[in-house]
Amino acid sequence: MISASSSALSALQAFGTKIQSNANNIANANTDGYKRTRVNLASKAPQGVQAEIEKSKMAGPTVYQEGETGSEAVELSNVDLGNEIPEMMLSSTYYKANLKTIQIENEMLGSLLQVKA
């Protein structure tokens, strides 16, 4: 049997990776040509969660700017803050839920040790 803490720890790592990815996307939202990263969660044997990072292939919007040689096309970032911020908030909630799982398991173990003593 896999303990709840092992499962919760793997989820903490996975959601931590998602939060870092969201933060990086938000920080680079105004960087020309930046492609957002996306984190996919997959189950890991025997029990747990694994984060797989994937770079988006979708092109950002193109704008024309005046340059030294005339008008030139510039690809903007494909980051949508309207998507990134709620996704980060949701990942934060999942992170807190897994922290609570570890806290409850710790309290249950403490109660068991008090009964045995």
Summarize pLDDT for 6-62 with one digit per residue, the tens.
888 888 999 999 999 999 999 999 999 899 999 999 988 777 888 999 998 888 888
Q: Is the CB of residue 54 less than 8 Å from the CB of residue 42?
A: no
Q: Is the CB of residue 14 less than 8 Å from the CB of residue 51?
A: yes
How far is Cα 91 from Cα 71, in angstroms, rounded to an integer?
Answer: 41
Q: Is the CB of residue 60 less than 8 Å from the CB of residue 76?
A: yes
Q: How far is CA 104 from CA 37, 108, 110, in A?
A: 33, 6, 10
Summarize pLDDT for 57-110 with one digit per residue, the tens.
888 888 888 877 778 888 889 999 999 999 999 999 999 999 998 898 888 888
User: Quick one: pLDDT at residue 25?
Assistant: 94
User: What's the pTM?
Assistant: 0.80
Q: List the chain domain ranges.
A: 4-116
User: Quick one: pLDDT at residue 50?
Assistant: 87
